[in-house]
Structure 1
Amino acid sequence: MSVRALAQELYALEREVERLRHELKQAPPPRRDEIDLELLQATAERDRLRAVLRAKKEIL
């Protein structure tokens, strides 16, 4: 995957994490656990992709 494609995907994940954080603040208690799990998964994927992008940049 190219650096540009990784950066675009990372940007989309950043937006998704922010959307989920906002949604979590406004969610009713029964839905919070589900959103929290989605947030944890999105954050983990974002962090993984950030590390991949950082490693690719160091190679270049």
Structure 2
Amino acid sequence: MSIRHLATDLYRSQQKVEKLEKALAAAAPSELAAIEEELRGARAELQLLRKMLDGEKETGLSRSRSGFAVKKR
């Protein structure tokens, strides 16, 4: 997956987490458990995407420094 796609997915995931946090703050007590569970999953996805994006940036940086980068013609 390209860095651009990862960044887009990361942004969408951040928006989802923020939306769920606001919903949790305004939720009725009967809805709290369901929203908390969904928020937990959204935060896990956000963390995974951050790690993937950081890994892509590190991989590209080390590739270019090592001299094994693919050179465009």
TM-score range, shorter chain: over 0.9
* Counterpart position of 2:33: 33
* Counterpart position of 2:50: 50
Partners of 1:56 and 1:2 in 2: CA distance:
8
Unaligned stretches of 5+ residues in structure 2: 61-73
Which structure is higher in helix share? 1
Q: TM-score w.r.t. structure 1 length?
A: 0.98
* Counterpart position of 1:3: 3
Which of structure 1's runs of 4+ aligned residues deviate more than 4 A? none
Unaligned stretches of 5+ residues in structure 1: none
RMSD of the alignment, in Å? 0.4
Percent identity at matched positions?
Answer: 40
When Rg is computed on C-alpha atoms for both structures, the one with the higher figure is 2
The answer to which structure, 1 or 2, has the higher relative contact order (CA under 8 A, 6+ apart) is 1
Q: TM-score w.r.t. structure 2 length?
A: 0.81
